[in-house]
Amino acid sequence: MEASVNTNEGAVYAQQGFGAQLEPQAPYGLLIIDLVNGFADPAVFGGGNIAQAIANTQLLLATARKQGWPVAHTRIVYADDGADSNIFSIKVPGMLGLLENEPNSQIVPELTPVAGELVVRKNVPSAFFGTSLAAWLTQRGVKTLLVAGAVTSGCVRASVVDAMQLGFRPLVVSDCVGDRALGPHEANLFDMRQKYATVVSREEAMSLLGL
């Protein structure tokens, strides 16, 4: 006889002890993941709610700058000759077109980094794997890392998991992250909320941090 399926996932997770409160602790930092032209364009890697995430991240970035938080941005950048092609680019061959000087790999104008903000170049999903980001954040004393960017189910999730594993407290700003498909977006927000991070809207985050 087939077992019945409990569709009340939230209750199941709560019963098993997931989703405990992860209180933010100062100092804070902001990580903006892959909000580049290619991910803003539905004809390239964009679509879904990424445009809204970019608009909301503008407000979040303004707050971070006003508060003097360390801010890091990431870009996916491959070598011009494809010498660093990898398993990620086998799965998504179009990634090899994100070269240093290609327009699609440039950070969107609305979020252009300013002096003192770190720009991390990567060619895998996580912002931390093989980069100096963790050391840069640690040097600046960051304990809680606010996370914005794209896409929720890919590079955002991978970076959040690594941030947690490295001892940072991830705070995913739910309306500042976006995905080309809303199903994966919502599913991954749920999963990160249960296992890895605080997940709240930008307004809720400001209230939580007393801003």
Catalytically annotated residues: 155
DSSP annotation of 123 = S
107 token code pair: 């950070």
Q: Is 167 exposed, middle or buried (CB count within 10 Å of its CB: 0-12, 13-18, 19+)?
A: exposed
The C-alpha atoms of residue 108 and residue 209 are separated, in whole angstroms, by 27
CA-wise closest residue to 174 among 191, 152, 155, 145: 152
3-state DSSP assignment of residue 111: helix
